[in-house]
Amino acid sequence: MTGSGREKTPYCPVGRVLGLRERKKLEAWRTIRSTALRLISERGFDAVSVEDIAAEAGVSRTTFFSYFRSKEAVVYDLDPQELQQWRELLADAPGDEPLWEALTGLVLSLAELLADRLPLQKRLFQQSPELCDSSRDVCDSFGPDLREWVARRTPDGDELHAALVLNTAFAAFNTAIEAWDPDDSFDHFLDLARDCLRLAGGGLARSVS
């Protein structure tokens, strides 16, 4: 919905020094999120309604939707502080590396940033296939930013190549997520992601099998 506007409201800015308002908002965001994750991991995604989450978080249904665009978003969205770190990462990324190498680095940094959330998230995927189906992309929340970053450093005429590189990096990342067992260590996931990115970057054509 909402056409393709990026952010309806500049929600949860996370500036340097937070006023009372901003602190409350961040707190509300986190209460809703953690409540949601708790309920969903207890009962499964489908068995929890937005109403349940809102009630349990002590907030109205309407407010829930002012913090999260959809029910899935409460699972996928980055914490405002993570989002800020992610944007700093993008801002600081070197501009001289070849695109694929730069992207590989970014994706791996991102993975580390998500270290806390990913295991739980992956477990939710396994419990609730409907979650997997709907948003098949864990990339939803950071994807747009990354797209923009790629676009900015892409010379005219090379859009196809840039898009291909980006989509392939996503594919590699998602493949690693799919393959990972959340009971294994997170380092193991990082290895998987590295492997996938390396294989995809090195060319899938000539290869085993």
Partner DNA sequence: ACCCGAACCTGAACTCAGTACAGAGTTTTA
Partner DNA sequence: TAAAACTCTGTACTGAGTTCAGGTTCGGGT
Q: Which residues bind a copy of itself (CB under 8 A)?
A: 1, 3-4, 46, 98-101, 129-130, 133, 136-137, 154-155, 158-165, 167-168, 170-172, 174-175, 178-179, 192, 195-196, 199-209
Closest CA to 77 of 133, 32, 17: 32
Candidate residues 9, 91, 203, 207; the one interacting with DNA per rule CB under 7 A: 9
Closest CA to 177 of 103, 116, 111: 111
3 binds, among a copy of itself, DNA, none (CB under 5 to 8 A by kind): a copy of itself
Quickly count helices (H) and strands (E) in the chain: 11, 0
Q: How far is the CB of 184 from a copy of itself (least distance, A)?
A: 13
- In angstroms, the CA 94 to CA 124 distance is 35
Which of residues 38, 69, 147, 194 is near DNA by CB under 7 A? Answer: 69
Shortest Cβ 10–DNA spacing (Å) = 8
Q: Which region, judged by CB under 7 A, interacts with DNA, from 14-22, 111-119, 168-176, 184-192?
A: 14-22
Q: Which is nearer to DNA, 68 or 180 (CB)?
A: 68
Helix (H) or strand (E) run with residue 99 in it: helix 99-113
Cβ atoms of residues 106 and 146 within 8 Å:
yes
Q: Is there binding between residue 2 and DNA (CB under 7 A)?
A: yes
CA distance 142 to 138: 9
